[in-house]
Amino acid sequence: MGVEAPTADGVEARATAVPTSSPTWARLEEQIEWYDRKSGHAQRWFKGLKIAQIVTAAAIPVMAGNSAPAWLVGGAGALIVVLEGLQQLQQYQQNWASYRATCERLKHERFLFMATAGPYAASPGSEALLAERVEGLVSQEHAAWVSQQKEADGQRH
């Protein structure tokens, strides 16, 4: 996997070639892309719902001050409740933060592996170690997601 290369001070260092055709590398890149995409999706939904809530909440006193029909003012208040309910049901803020954190941890692993640093510095089976660590991160995030869903379900019942 690695090759020995002399450094400026004469000490040999192991340089890891990027195994772009390996299943482990493909899995890592796939997971980074998935978590990055899902994080962005959750962020857009969270911010969109919050902006809609803020704008609607700001419009209520304006509508009331301009003698808008009661159904319109009441409907705006109900819309805020619905938007917050959607946010709580879908957990966009929590998913955004969780997916972003997992994506960044996976990128960190990629960098350490490519630099033959951290746990990969002395590992003769660095690709196997990478596979284990990537799957560990994905499993941790999945377990946290399942726990969060159970907690959210408990709050709804």
Helix (H) or strand (E) holding 15: strand 12-16
Q: For position 156, what pLDDT does the model report?
A: 61
Q: Which of 134, 144, 154 is nearest to 23 (CA)?
A: 134
Asked if pLDDT for residue 5 goes beyond 60, the answer is no
pLDDT bin (cut points 50, 70, 90) of residue 7 is very low
- Residue pointed to by tokens 């192991």: 14
Share of residues in the chain with pLDDT > 90 (%): 68
On whether the CB atoms of residues 54 and 4 are closer than 8 A, the answer is no
Cα–Cα distance for residue pair 40/42, rounded to 1 Å = 6
On whether the CB atoms of residues 120 and 110 are closer than 8 A, the answer is no
On whether the CB atoms of residues 31 and 106 are closer than 8 A, the answer is yes
Q: What average pLDDT score do residues 20-45 get?
A: 94
On whether the CB atoms of residues 22 and 127 are closer than 8 A, the answer is yes
Tokens of 116: 């033959």
Q: For position 14, what pLDDT does the model report?
A: 44
pTM: 0.77
Cα–Cα separations (whole angstroms), residue 84 to 44, 45, 58: 15, 12, 15
Q: For position 150, what pLDDT does the model report?
A: 78
Asked if pLDDT for residue 2 goes beyond 50, the answer is no
Cα–Cα distance for residue pair 85/79, rounded to 1 Å = 10
The 10s digit of each residue's pLDDT in 85-108 is: 999 999 999 999 999 999 999 999
Specify the length of the chain in residues.
157
Q: For position 123, what pLDDT does the model report?
A: 80
Q: Say which range, 17-26, 74-83, 84-93, has the weakest mean pLDDT.
A: 17-26
